[in-house]
Structure 1
Amino acid sequence: MAVLIDPPRWPAHGTVFSHLVSDASLEELHGFAAAHGLSPRAFDLDHYDVPAHRHAELVAAGALAVDGGELVRRLIRSGLRVPARRRDGRAEPVLRRRWARLFAGTDASPDAVTAAGAELLGRWSEPHRRYHAPAHLLAVLQAVDLLSAAGEDLGPHPLAVPLAAWLHDAVYTADPARGPGADEEDSARLAERLLAAPGLALGDDVVAETARLVRLTAEHRPAPDDAAGAVLCDADLEVLGRAPHDYEAYVALVRADFAHIPDEAWRTGRAAVLERLLGADRLYATAAGRARWEDPARANLERELAAHRPALS
């Protein structure tokens, strides 16, 4: 078990950066980073970006200096390496193609489709986003595909489900002062405005259903007979049921979204979210979602909550 750091060779923002990783666990990596004052925003899925002037300090603190090739090999062997296809830069071309395919064979204007897609991708790519970014959008769309392929019903307006995935975090401020559900409400209103453009040729019923589904993601509690809502909410929560190291990476990125929140307030708020999720009779509303993700999601949530308890007490 070791925290590793490679030489500072990666240029950005007027300096060069090293990569700081663990070859054992993200918990070890986050603990080392926090102990030495690295910002949560420096975390990038499987490593921290470290400016050159801190390299020697972190080596003196216990990070093992290795060359870049050795760092990558050990990260891959650990199973913690995040493949390129899950990174935002790789997600965006895929998302552009997926957006265009939603309107294939319809009366929509290609220029209107392109303009609406560009506005949405611009929103998803805002610089303050770390988790609520293009890679998350792509993961939700893929989870919708998986649930649909497993036989889950997308409701009377199937197109509204992927459209709602595109819109569900289109407004994302990471500002707790706005109150619960404010971003989702603004995202739903954006859906009502953006999707009503004549050039997209979407019916009023599809636009209204999309906005309704977006509002559901504020609490992820679809009614028992709401098939479309069940699919969207389960797809948005798919991340909770990933392998433990993927779940830890998700938590670190969410923490980076809220890097402006002090640690104590973060732990208190996060613990409340975890307790609310664990208090539900079931996390997933679809049969396919429960079969795939319910048990691992509960194990992930319990483990994270247990890690917060000592600090809270």
Structure 2
Amino acid sequence: MIYIDPPLWPAHDTCFSHLVSDTSLEELHAFATAAGVPRRAFDQDHYDVPEHRYEELVRAGARAVDGRTLVRALIAGGLRIPARERPASLVHPLRRRWDSLVPGAEEVGAELLNRWGEPHRRYHDRRHLLQVLEALHTLGVTDRPVLLAAWFHDAVYDGDPGRDEESSAVLAESLLPEAGISAGEVAEAARLIRLTAGHDPEPEDRRGALLCDADLSVLGRSADAYDRYAADIRREYGHVDEDVFRAGRRTVLQALLGNGTVFRTGRAEALWGDAARSNLARELAALVPAGGRPSVPEGSARAGRANRG
């Protein structure tokens, strides 16, 4: 069943309703597609729809309910995104991790958390930071330069590939000495941050491989979690024309699938490789229009670099 609550949530000079399913995200996406609701309106477990569409969506079959009933339906269907997947709820657990890694550097940690919480971020936010840190833990990483690089790798994020990573590395070079980190560790952390621009470390670069694998670990999550990630990436690049985005996204997915193995370390490949290939192939199939090989719009190469994982 599809549910919609009243348009009571103000933003962008109007009010919005929430559109959800109590059955599956597939049902929700199918309903939204049929009703002409753009995919960029999807936000983790619901679509945000402006009030002028409310009556139309009710006529299309969405059941009109109050907000509490909508949330209960979402929970009952097992589709409610837990608190740990919501950026605003992650400040305290992330702060504890930072304080453990770099004791006595609270101000640097606060600046990082503020940066990771910037409102324009939809995927590269505190959730992504926590996912990368947890992936490194799963891979058995305790090496401080790698962990520091994880904290800084998207600390500057303006959607400008290459320049974002460079600016993040420069930020680390500026702030980490203030936190008492040695010059050698600062240099190594900055080197690793710059590697995340292309996720292509040298074969003997174990630290680089671990950081890049952790950064891409989202590719090997469950199908629903992957779909939320892909939707968040699209929202993050909402300013990019749809055809350009899709062409760029195809370039990224084809490159990730083209090597046979998605991850550089055996442990990461064993943990996430099969799921990643399945997710990437499924998204790629959805992006390729029926009837042949799509043309490549001007600007898609840059979009491809921009909407990498």
TM-score under structure 2 length normalisation: 0.86
Aligned partners of 1:85 and 1:91 also within 8 Å: yes
- Rounded to whole Å, the distance in 2 between the matches of 1:27 and 1:304 is 13
Give the match for residue 277 of structure 2: 298
Q: Which has the higher contact order (CA 8 A, sep 6+)?
A: 1
For 1:35-184, list aligned pairs within 5 A: 36=35, 38=37, 42-104=41-103, 110=104, 113-148=105-140, 158-175=143-160, 180-184=161-165
Shift of the alpha carbon at 1:184? 1.1
Q: Bigger shift: 278-287 or 48-57?
A: 48-57
- Rounded to whole Å, the distance in 1 between the matches of 2:76 and 2:283 is 24
- Rounded to whole Å, the distance in 1 between the matches of 2:8 and 2:207 is 48
Aligned partners of 1:140 and 1:238 also within 8 Å: yes
Shift of the alpha carbon at 1:115? 1.7
2:267 to 288, 293, 306: 288
Aligned partners of 1:41 and 1:130 also within 8 Å: no
Q: Bigger shift: 67-76 or 252-261?
A: 67-76
Give the match for residue 213 of structure 2: 234
Question: Kindly tell me: are residues 279 and 5 of structure 1, through their superposed partners in 2, closer, same or farther at Cα, counting changes over 3 Å?
Answer: same
- For 2:203, what is the secondary structure of its paired residue? coil
Aligned partners of 2:7 and 2:17 also within 8 Å: yes
Q: Bigger shift: 35-44 or 286-295?
A: 35-44
Shift of the alpha carbon at 1:13? 7.0
Aligned partners of 1:213 and 1:232 also within 8 Å: yes
Give the match for residue 204 of structure 1: 183
Give the match for residue 271 of structure 1: 250
Q: Count residues in correspondence.
A: 292
Aligned partners of 1:241 and 1:296 also within 8 Å: yes
Shift of the alpha carbon at 1:91? 1.0
Kindly provide the amino acid, as one letter, of the partner of residue 171 in structure 2.
L
- Is 1:22 matched up with 2:21? yes
Kindly provide the amino acid, as one letter, of the partner of residue 94 in structure 2.
L
Give the match for residue 7 of structure 1: 6
- Rounded to whole Å, the distance in 2 between the matches of 1:207 and 1:23 is 48
Unaligned 5+ segments in structure 2 are 295-309
Kindly provide the amino acid, as one letter, of the partner of residue 153 in structure 2.
H
- 1:96-132 Cα distance to aligned partner (Å, 9 max, x none): 121111123xxxxx3xx12211221221111111101
Aligned partners of 1:80 and 1:245 also within 8 Å: no
Aligned partners of 1:144 and 1:235 also within 8 Å: yes
Unaligned 5+ segments in structure 1 are 105-109
Q: Bigger shift: 77-86 or 161-170?
A: 77-86
Shift of the alpha carbon at 1:53? 4.2
Aligned partners of 2:146 and 2:192 also within 8 Å: yes
Kindly provide the amino acid, as one letter, of the partner of residue 126 in structure 1.
E
Aligned partners of 2:88 and 2:117 also within 8 Å: no
Shift of the alpha carbon at 1:17? 3.9
Shift of the alpha carbon at 1:15? 6.2
- For 2:289, what is the secondary structure of its paired residue? helix
Shift of the alpha carbon at 1:77? 4.3
- Rounded to whole Å, the distance in 2 between the matches of 1:249 and 1:263 is 18
- For 1:49, what is the secondary structure of its paired residue? strand
Kindly provide the amino acid, as one letter, of the partner of residue 147 in structure 1.
L
- Rounded to whole Å, the distance in 2 between the matches of 1:253 and 1:230 is 25
Give the match for residue 194 of structure 1: 175
2:195 to 201, 213, 216: 216
Kindly provide the amino acid, as one letter, of the partner of residue 81 in structure 2.
V
Question: Kindly tell me: are residues 103 and 225 of structure 1, through their superposed partners in 2, closer, same or farther at Cα, counting changes over 3 Å?
Answer: same
- For 2:48, what is the secondary structure of its paired residue? strand
